[in-house]
């Protein structure tokens, strides 16, 4: 099988990639998306200030960088406003975590991050980008990449200057969200800008923004010529999109099976209470638009205990004639007698 493209010497097999999303692109969800066809793994973004200290940072921050070997290639995504700290952290993480790639987040639009010069705030300072990327490219053995937005606002659409600085400084791939920092997730993503970037640089380009269906995948590829498509919100509740399967083409039985698997992964990664609480936002998306949503939404999203959550789901499936008594009991036993599924 021929690689779809390369990030420097790293072959990437596939053209669809799960976007790094804070609070969503954790190890459990990434693992499921990889199994279904996401071509590589980006971690959630991590503030370099949270990775400092004698113990290498907070437990929460280090947890965001955990991965399984099955996820490779793995890219650690970091952010910060202090260039020296970004450089120091990138060098340290290469040796400690053994990622395949270090990615710099230049796309986060959140005010408290971007207005300090981190995330999308960095695109206002091309000289900082040049120093950061050129130093990391020289100091690291692994590739350095970046994820950007197309500008700060409509009056500062400086994406061409940004990508030229990135390429000239040694970036091995550029992922582009086709909105400005000011837009957040409002309005339409500018696929024309992504196409312009793809034509201007020689490194691989990933297009991101407004991809929620299989048809969108093909449209953005045809429109922009990108090497790969990065999918974020469109994958929440529909990881099958990485198998080129739309939400409405996934049966409710498939969704229940996935919810059980995803919940088990969450429980092993975060613990019983944290795993359930953090799973609720995924549940809301898994059942969204289904005939079962009205009867399941409130009970599932307010369940306080794992056994209550699983019982609600099992009883619903039994009432729908999808489970007999033995299958229902096996369903429930899965979460009382289960073995850990994440090392």
178 close to 191: Cβ distance less than 8 angstroms: yes
Q: Helix 214-224 vs helix 191-200: angle between axes, to the nearest 10 degrees?
A: 50
Triad 299, 336, 338: Cα angle to 5°: 115
Task: DSSP for 69-86, please give it.
Answer: GGG-SEEEEEE-S-HHHH
- DSSP letter (8 states) at residue 142: S
- 33 classed as catalytic: no
Angle at 190 between CA 74 and CA 157, to 5 degrees: 95
Tokens 């939400």 identify what position? Answer: 247
How far apart are the C-alpha atoms of 240 and 35, rounded to whole Å? Answer: 10
- HSE value, Cβ hemisphere, 13 Å, CA-based, for 170: 16
Catalytic annotation, pick one of 108, 171, 194, 263: 108
Classify residue 302 as exposed, middle or buried by CB count within 10 Å of its CB (0-12, 13-18, 19+): exposed
Peptide bond into 191 cis (omega under 30): no
Residue numbers annotated as active site? 108
């Amino acid at each position: 099988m021929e690689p779809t493209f390369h990030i420097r010497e790293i072959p990437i097999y596939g053209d669809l990639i799960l976007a790094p999303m804070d609070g969503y692109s954790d190890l459990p969800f990434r693992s499921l998306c990889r199994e279904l066809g996401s071509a590589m793994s980006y971690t959630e973004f991590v503030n370099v200030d949270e990775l400092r200290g004698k113990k290498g940072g907070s437990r929460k921050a280090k947890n965001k960088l955990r991965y399984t070997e099955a996820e490779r290639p793995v890219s650690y995504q970091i952010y910060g406003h202090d260039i020296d700290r970004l450089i120091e952290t990138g060098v340290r993480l290469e040796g400690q975590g053994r990622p395949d790639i270090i990615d710099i987040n230049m796309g986060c639009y959140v005010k408290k991050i971007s207005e300090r010069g981190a995330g999308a705030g960095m695109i206002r300072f091309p000289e900082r980008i040049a120093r950061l990327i050129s130093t990391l490219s020289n100091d690291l053995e692994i590739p350095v990449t970046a994820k950007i937005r197309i500008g700060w606002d409509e009056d500062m659409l400086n994406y061409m200057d940004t990508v030229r600085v990135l390429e000239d400084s040694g970036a091995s791939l550029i992922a582009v969200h086709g909105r400005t920092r000011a837009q957040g997730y409002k309005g339409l993503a500018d696929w024309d800008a992504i196409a312009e970037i793809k034509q201007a640089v020689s490194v691989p380009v990933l297009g991101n923004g407004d991809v929620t269906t299989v048809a969108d995948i093909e449209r953005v590829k045809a429109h922009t010529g990108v090497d790969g498509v990065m999918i974020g919100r469109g994958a929440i509740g529909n990881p099958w999109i990485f198998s080129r399967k739309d939400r409405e083409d996934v049966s409710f039985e498939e969704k229940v099976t996935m919810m059980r698997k995803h919940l088990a992964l969450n429980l092993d990664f975060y613990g019983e209470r944290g795993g359930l609480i953090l799973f609720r936002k995924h549940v809301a998306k898994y059942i969204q638009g289904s005939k079962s949503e009205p009867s399941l939404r409130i009970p599932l999203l307010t369940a306080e205990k794992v056994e209550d959550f699983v019982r609600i789901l099992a009883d619903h499936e039994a009432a729908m004639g999808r489970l007999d008594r033995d299958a229902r009991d096996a369903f429930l036993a899965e979460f009382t007698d289960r073995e850990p599924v994440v090392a």
